[in-house]
Amino acid sequence: MDTPKIKKRGRPIKATLNQQKIIEMAKVMMRNDSKIPSIRKLSSALDVDAMAIYYYFSNKDKLLEALTTSLITEIYEPKAAIDWQEELIILASSYLHVLRDYDGLLQTLLTMKSDSPAHVFYQRFQLIVKPLNLSIEQQKSMLDLVADYLHGFSLALSCDGSNTLKIEDIRPPLTFLFNSIGKIN
């Protein structure tokens, strides 16, 4: 006869659980379920008591911030070895791939209180456009245009039941936008 597993309450055993393991499991669950897992489902998948998660993350918002930041750091890191327009297209494509692979991430990012994940994208964007010597206002306008376009495209991708949209389809509109921006200088 099988004996039921009894989950221990309180402080987790350090060798079996850590922040990275929690985040990696949350990523797997998010990829499979297309949504952020609840603390209860996450702790069940890790075979620990829910309070063990709170040992590493003081609240769900802290876990959510760590998870989304971890996902966004998967996007392309600029190399500055190629044309700024090409770098921005690669960054944009990479961002869309992460949003597609983790369906529900965009909605989570747009409703979060923390801006840590957005800051990761912004830093990479700034590295790419630095050679353009844009004013702060011009950089912000360009970032807003690109981010809004990418978010709209991501939503369209997630609603495209016939799979006619491809991430590569962003190249012509972004090239048009970037050519216009290049004429500012």
Domain of 33: which CATH number?
A: 1.10.10
Residues 104 and 48 in one domain: no
Q: Tell whether the torsion through CA atoms of 157, 162, 167 and 171 is positive or negative.
A: negative
Residues 84 and 42 in one domain: no
Prediction pTM value = 0.83
Q: What is the pLDDT of residue 117?
A: 86
Q: What is the pLDDT of residue 14?
A: 44
Residues 114 and 164 in one domain: yes
Q: What is the pLDDT of residue 142?
A: 94
Residues 76 and 47 in one domain: no
Distance CA 103, CA 123 (A): 23
Inside any domain, residue 45: yes
Q: What is the pLDDT of residue 10?
A: 53
Q: What is the pLDDT of residue 184?
A: 63
Residues of the domain holding 28: 19-57
Q: What is the pLDDT of residue 182?
A: 65
Q: What is the pLDDT of residue 161?
A: 80
Q: How many structural domains comprise the chain?
A: 2
Residues 96 and 165 in one domain: yes
**Residue from 118, 180, 177, 127 nearest 149 by CA:** 177
| Binned average pLDDT, 10 residues per bin, the chain of 185 residues | 51 70 95 89 93 91 91 89 90 95 88 86 93 92 95 92 91 92 66
